[in-house]
């Protein structure tokens, strides 16, 4: 009997979902890096046998450029241990400063977004057959619902 994992991996192996496999390989690469490098990198991509590393700040560029040997050895280790992640064709590593900062834009977007919800209740319920204390509470709730509908 096939499990959901079998169906999922069959889907990922299709050509149109190849970027997902690359993304998971880049995520594995990032997970192996020391925390000071993880915080510096915005995103990673590969093009023409070159690993392109986008950095969030110019101060990190020198440090990562000085540790290219570490990055290359990590790429080789990933290729050895995970056959789906083939970084053997990567000949060089290029770093650049990215104007796109995924984390700060995400935080700005979260801070600017204020959720607004419509009132789904009509505020019509029977309060005739309950005691006066509860009736006052229910009447206040009815007024709040009517107020929220406007």
DSSP reduced 3-state for 107: helix
Tokens 């000085």 belong to residue: 66
Per-residue model confidence (pLDDT) at position 90:
84
Q: What are the structure tokens assigned to 105, written together?
A: 């834009």
Does 32 reside within a domain? Answer: yes
Looking at residue 3, its pLDDT comes to 80
pLDDT recorded at residue 9: 63
CATH code of 95's domain: 3.30.300
In a 3-state reduction of DSSP, which class is residue 94?
strand
Q: Which of the four pLDDT bands, split at 50, 70 and 90, describes residue 123?
A: confident
Q: How many domains does the chain have?
A: 1
Please give the residue that has the higher pLDDT: either 5 or 38.
38
- The answer as to whether 120 is a domain residue is no
| DSSP 3-state of 55 | strand
The beta-strand segments (E) located in 58-133 are 92-97
Domain of residue 89 covers 4-101
Give a yes or no: residue 76 inside a domain: yes
**Sheet order of strands, 50-55 included:** 41-47, 50-55, 92-97
The mean pLDDT of 54-76, rounded to a whole number, is: 88
Where residue 56 falls among pLDDT bands split at 50, 70, 90?
A: confident
- When pLDDT is averaged across residues 7-29 and rounded to a whole number, the result is 68
Q: How many residues are listed for the chain in this entry? A: 150
Collect all residues with Cβ–Cβ distance below 8 Å to 85 and sequence separation of at least 6: 21, 24, 25, 28, 29, 78, 79
């Amino acid at each position: 009997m096939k499990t959901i994992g079998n169906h999922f991996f069959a889907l990922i192996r299709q050509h149109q979902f190849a970027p997902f496999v690359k993304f998971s390989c880049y995520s594995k690469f990032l997970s192996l890096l020391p925390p000071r490098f993880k915080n510096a990198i915005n995103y990673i991509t590969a093009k023409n046998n070159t690993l392109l590393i986008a950095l969030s700040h110019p101060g990190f560029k020198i440090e990562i450029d000085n540790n290219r040997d570490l990055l290359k050895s990590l790429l080789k280790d990933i290729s050895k241990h995970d056959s789906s992640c083939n970084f053997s064709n990567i000949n060089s590593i290029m770093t650049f400063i990215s104007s796109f900062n995924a984390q700060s834009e995400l935080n700005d977007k979260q801070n600017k977004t204020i959720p607004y919800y419509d009132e789904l209740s009509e505020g019509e319920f029977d309060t005739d057959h309950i005691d006066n204390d509860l009736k006052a509470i229910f009447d206040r709730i009815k007024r709040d619902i009517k107020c929220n509908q406007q």
